[in-house]
């Protein structure tokens, strides 16, 4: 069975100009000599080397065909979520990246789905924007950072946003972004993606679970990148705390492990044994393939990696295809 890859990022080749000098120092633009490759700049500082896999659908399809990936679910490079800008300025960038994703889907509707960006630093503005995600851009949902300028995703200020996402049937994919713990640590910045990303994603999942978000919005489909980070390894400890504290003071009606089984997680843990644990024990039927394409630490040769796992045929099929369909709430024809 081919793969639906739910963890795939997009960055436009062209960006709108900075709306003012005040934000120009953190505004993205591409520095390059051709459309084949370049460097994403934030103001005058290099952020990340990129090549045309980030914006060229035809180039991307070559890799998909090579890797037996039938469908990619496109989402913004997390740095483009832009929570540190004013809501009005962030909308300019959200519009640009969402239009890029919509354009790629329109060119190849059988091969791509999309998750867009919203200005969640202003929950009311993000809630209003959700209708544009669905009706104007034709996307399946949104990508959120693991924290919003330090605020955890279980915060009550996001309640109306989750209610609207549930009502519109939009999926939510949570990706690590500017980890809270990394700001207080004295480790080099290069360590952030390898150490603090999975910690922050686990904090995000725990915040959603322990604040009862899925109790109030049972139809909400929410997924976490990097296999939920460390969340699977602390599920037993969370359950112990739930029993010892009367459901964390009544905040959780069910054990945390039961709530985790209602969430979705991607396969991007880069460890076959831990991935098998997620598939069998943490969230059966809710782990989908995710590679982190097209970045250097992405899962290589995902079809081979998954097919070699010591899992049943049903578990492999779920990991490759069916869990992604459940997350997107869509039956996707296999070509």
What 3-state DSSP class applies to 145? Answer: strand
Residues 6+ apart with CB under 8 A from 88: 19
Q: Which residue has the tokens 């004295």?
A: 186
298 within 8 A of 6, measured Cβ to Cβ: no
Report field, pTM of the whole predicted structure over 0.85: yes
Per-residue pLDDT tens, the chain, 335 aa: give them. Answer: 899 999 999 999 999 999 999 999 999 999 998 999 999 999 999 999 999 999 999 999 999 999 999 999 999 999 999 999 999 999 999 999 999 999 999 999 999 999 999 999 999 999 999 999 999 999 999 999 999 999 999 999 999 999 999 999 999 999 999 999 887 777 777 788 889 999 999 999 999 999 999 999 999 999 999 999 999 999 999 999 999 999 999 999 999 999 999 999 999 999 999 999 999 999 999 999 999 999 989 999 999 999 999 999 999 999 999 999 999 999 998 86
Report pLDDT digits (tens) over 274-323: 999 999 999 999 999 999 999 989 999 999 999 999 999 999 999 999 99
The tokens describing 285, both together, are 């039927």
pLDDT of residue 188: 78
CA 42 – CA 45 distance, rounded (Å): 5
Report pLDDT digits (tens) over 258-273: 999 999 999 999 999 9
Cα 158 to the center of its chain, rounded Å: 17
């Amino acid at each position: 069975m081919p793969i639906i890859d739910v963890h795939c990022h997009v960055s436009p080749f062209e960006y709108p100009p900075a709306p003012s000098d005040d934000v120009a120092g953190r505004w993205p633009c591409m520095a390059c000599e051709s459309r084949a490759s370049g460097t994403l700049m934030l103001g005058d500082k290099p952020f990340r080397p990129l090549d045309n896999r980030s914006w060229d659908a035809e180039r991307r399809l070559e890799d998909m065909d090579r890797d037996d990936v039938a469908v990619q679910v496109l989402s913004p490079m997390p740095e483009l979520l832009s929570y540190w800008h004013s809501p009005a300025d962030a909308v300019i960038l959200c519009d640009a990246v969402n239009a890029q994703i919509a354009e790629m889907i329109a060119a190849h509707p059988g091969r791509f789905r999309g998750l867009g960006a919203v200005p969640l630093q202003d929950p009311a503005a993000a809630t209003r924007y959700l209708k544009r995600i669905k009706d104007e851009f034709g996307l399946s949902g949104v990508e959120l950072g693991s924290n919003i300028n330090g605020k955890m995703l279980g915060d009550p200020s996001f309640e109306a946003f989750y209610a609207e996402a549930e009502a519109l049937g939009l999926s939510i994919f949570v990706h690590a972004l500017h980890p809270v713990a990394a700001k207080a640590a004295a480790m080099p910045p290069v360590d952030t993606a390898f150490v603090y990303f999975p910690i922050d994603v686990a904090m995000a999942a725990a915040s959603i679970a322990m604040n009862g978000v899925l109790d109030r919005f049972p139809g909400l489909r929410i997924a976490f990148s990097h296999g939920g980070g460390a969340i699977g390894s602390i599920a037993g400890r969370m359950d112990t705390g739930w029993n010892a504290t009367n459901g964390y003071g009544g905040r959780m009606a069910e054990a945390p492990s039961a709530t985790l089984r209602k969430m979705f997680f991607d396969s991007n843990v880069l460890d076959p044994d831990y991935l098998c644990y997620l598939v069998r024990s943490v969230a059966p039927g809710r782990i989908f393939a995710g590679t982190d394409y097209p970045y250097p630490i992405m899962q290589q040769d995902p079809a081979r990696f998954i097919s070699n796992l010591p899992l049943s045929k049903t578990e492999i099929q779920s990991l490759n295809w069916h869990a992604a369909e459940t997350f997107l709430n869509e039956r996707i024809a296999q070509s």
